[in-house]
Structure 1
Amino acid sequence: MPLVEVTLAHGRSDEQIRSMMTAVHEAVLATVGTRPEHIRVIVREVPRTHWATGDRTIAEMFETPPED
Structure 2
Amino acid sequence: MPLVHIDLLAGRSEDQLKHLVEDITSAVTKNTGAPAEHVHVILNEMQPNRYSVGGVLKSDAK
Structure 2 runs not aligned, ≥5 long: none
Name the SS for the 1:15 alignment partner. helix
Name the SS for the 1:60 alignment partner. coil
Q: Does 1:32 align with 2:1?
A: no
C-alpha root-mean-square deviation of aligned residues, in Å? 0.7
Choose 1 or 2 for highest CA Rg: 1
Q: Which amino acid aligns with 1:60?
A: D
Compute the TM-score of the two structures, normalised by the length of structure 2: 0.94
Q: Find the counterpart in structure 2 of residue 48 from structure 1.
A: 48
Compute the TM-score of the two structures, normalised by the length of structure 1: 0.87
Identity %: 29
Q: Does 1:20 align with 2:3?
A: no
Bigger share in helix? 1
Q: Which runs of 4+ in 1 moved over 2 A?
A: none
Aligned length: 62
